[in-house]
Amino acid sequence: MAIAKAERLMNLALCLLGTRRPLSKRELRESIEAYLEAGSDDSFNRMFERDKDDLRELGLVIETVENLDGEVGYLARRDSNRLPPITLDAEEAAALGLAAKVWQQARLAGAASGALQKLRAAGLPEDVDPYGAHGALEPRIPVHEAAFEPLMLACRDRRPVLFDYRKASAVHPEPRHVEPWALECWRGHWYLAGFDRDRGAERVFRLSRITGKVRSRGTGFTAPVPDVVTVRETVAGWAGETADRSALIRLRSGAGYPLRAKATAVRELGDGWDELEIPYGHGLDAWLVEFGPDVVVLEPAELRADVVDRLRAVAKG
């Protein structure tokens, strides 16, 4: 949501909550600077109706009544827009405290800190350890990618984006026009799931491979957002974690530690090489390409051919 619109909605909400009598559209227009600058009456009326609908969608209860002059007036009674008291037991408070402490970076850090302070003010016991039996562990979700914040806002606002993306098998990035659905962190890396307009299908993107700025491109989605977005399952498939077969590879000694962690068997070959048996599933070829000359696929033959094709594509680029 643009800052100007957010400020306008906030001013409208304050006017409706602060009045003791219904205010007409004319009075609201005179009270809010953005409405005075709207230009024609038609422009103001469209803007006001959109803002009123947006506030109602956000949960504000706005009443429409006739005032003494026969005009239609609007107000939001405080008793209709007040939440009931929130009570938390020790376990619920600890869980919320833990969640608030997860975010250490990006825009959510300040919001999380403020939320934790409100929990304390609402009765979160000072002696409750949000970390439970693992008090020595500090939960956090690392956010190093510059693309995280604009994509987080785009997911929230259902706003299509455009960015340059470099695939694991490519040398140069390509523009991607995406309707963003969800962000998820998996094993220290952030991923975006969404609808790729150019390819007409669902795609998952690793944020560390996004180059340059994330730009907004229009409004509205063209594809329905699924009820469940399976980011982790898709990435796990790339990494071979849904494998039903095994691959045999040769790996340079001292390299490829993520591959070694997945290996079900390791044998030293000498001359600076090891032989590994690793789970084999969809997308393993793209992952192996990332290790470049440190990996040689021995079998199966189709996996070896896929990796060779990808390496040739990189060399041509």
Structural domain boundaries in the chain: 3-80, 90-134, 148-226, 239-316
Read off the pLDDT of each residue in 70-89 and give the average, rounded to a whole number: 78
- Pair 2, 43: CB distance under 8 Å: no
182: closest CA among 225, 236, 237? Answer: 225
Q: Give the span between the Cα atoms of 116 and 108, in whole angstroms.
A: 12
The mean pLDDT of 152-175, rounded to a whole number, is 85
Under the banding of pLDDT at 50, 70 and 90, the label for residue 277 is very high
- What mean pLDDT is predicted for residues 198-224? 86
Kindly tell me if the per-residue pLDDT of 68 is higher than 80. no
Domain 148-226 has CATH 2.60.40: no
CB atoms within 10 A of CB 166: 15
State residue 134's pLDDT score. Answer: 43
Please compute the mean of the pLDDT values over residues 77-101 and round it to a whole number: 70
Mean pLDDT of all residues in 296-303: 90
Tell whether the model's pLDDT for residue 246 goes beyond 90. Answer: no
Residue 200 Ramachandran class (φ > 0 left, ψ -120 to 50 alpha, else beta): left
The answer, as to whether pTM is greater than 0.75, is no
Class of domain 3-80: mainly alpha
More confident residue, 168 or 16: 16
The residues that bridge with 268 in the sheet, in sequence order, are: 274
The pLDDT value recorded for residue 133 is: 45
